[in-house]
Amino acid sequence: MATDPATLERTAATPATSEGEVEGDHERMSHIVLEGYHPDEKPDEFVSLGPSVVEGIVNGTPVRALCGKTWVPNRDPKRYPLCPTCKEIAERMGWDVPIS
């Protein structure tokens, strides 16, 4: 699996709204979901790492955030602050982080 940030698919942020692994304000934050990546050896190929945020919204499929939070997305992520754990992980990997 490629780890070069240049080969990773863009991430999508969406809020967590269901009961999950972390309590408190973490429930009302936008989270970053890595939907997949493009391998270095086959840049035209996309490797899915799980359900996309769109699939989660349309089909009610749970998605997993970088911080480990799992939930079914169903709200506007722009209404919530960005999860600091997701932001920190994304920044360490050299990704462009959405404005929180």
Task: Report pLDDT digits (tens) over 7-56.
Answer: 344 444 444 444 334 445 667 899 999 888 888 888 899 888 889 999 99
> Which residue type is seen at 56?
G
Residue 90: count of CB within 10 angstroms of its CB: 23
Spatial contact of 30 and 81, defined as CB atoms under 8 Å apart: yes
Give the angle subtended at the CA of 58 by the CAs of 56 and 62, to the nearest 5°.
Answer: 20
State if pTM tops 0.85. no
Spatial contact of 37 and 8, defined as CB atoms under 8 Å apart: yes
